[in-house]
Amino acid sequence: MPLIRPVEPTGTHPPEAASGELRDQDQNKPSSCEAPPASARVAVGEEQKAQVTQEDRDIARLALTERMARKYPTRSPPRCFDAGEVTLVAACASALEGGRETKMRSLSDAIRGAFVASKDGPPTVRFIWGKCEHFLDHVERGRCQRLAEERDERLRASPDRVAHALSSRLAPEAAPAVARAQMTADLERLFGPGWRKISR
């Protein structure tokens, strides 16, 4: 679960460039997911604001590119995005603790989770990253789905191991075979050398 700190993005920026995306109608309604995970920990006090770094903005552009690739799989991703959208996503990235890879994975999970949660088509940028608590809901939902898909992929990649594991659970353990010579020796010890004649 990503560690977070509260974020209040400040300031406005002129648009970098049009993303080329057909403008979505903002879905200002909250996601239909459960309450924010209780395991999320705040790193700094409520009165402090997380600083959006250049790295956060770079990560934000990668996340926006991933969202566009999911929304329009057959299109080439745009080279530039609206500055306001970059700032919105970067603010969520800055609220996460960890390095670049950790933040990018959380943003990817949020995209995955938002696509699952959105009932009115592909989710907008605001639907995914508009509010920190909803963003975290999307992260958790997407993370659960990613882990489930990775588990299924591992099972598909090694069907023999799966079959063996299932058979070993379901089938009773076979008794080890006893050598005939050992069995004869044990019977002679119990009943004496003439046990064959007695049994007849």
pLDDT in tens, 17-26: 444 454 443 3
36 plus 89 within the same structural domain: yes
Q: Over the chain, what is the mean pLDDT?
A: 74
Q: Is the pLDDT of residue 89 over 70?
A: yes
Q: Which residue has the higher pLDDT, 52 or 197?
A: 52
| Residue 69 sits in the same domain as residue 120 | yes
Domain identity same for 147 and 186: no
pLDDT for 185 equals 75
Taking residues 146-175, report their average pLDDT. Answer: 70
Q: Three-class SS string for the chain?
A: CCCECCCCCCCCCCCCCCCCCCCCCCCCCCCCCCCCCCCCCECCCCCCCCCCCHHHHHHHHHHHHHHHHHHCCCCCCCCCCCHHHHHHHHHHHHCECCCHHHHHHHHHHHHHHHHHHCCCCCCCHHHHHCCHHHHHHHHHHHHHHHHHHHHHHHHHHCHHHHHHHHHHHHCCCCCCCCCHHHHHHHHHHHHCCCHHHHHC
pLDDT in tens, 161-190: 656 666 655 555 554 555 677 777 776 777
> 185 and 88, same structural domain?
no
User: Are 62 and 14 contained in the same domain?
Assistant: yes
- 161 versus 134: which is more confidently predicted? 134
| Same domain assignment for residues 69 and 127 | yes
150 & 166 share domain: no
The pLDDT, as a whole number, for residue 8 is: 46
When pLDDT is averaged across residues 49-60 and rounded to a whole number, the result is 88
Whole-structure pTM value? 0.57
Would you say residue 98 has pLDDT above 80? yes
Give the residue numbers spanning the domain of 49: 1-157
Comparing 17-31, 43-57, 97-111, 173-187, the range with the smallest average pLDDT is 17-31
> What's the total number of domains in the chain?
2
Q: Are residues 96 and 172 in the same domain?
A: no
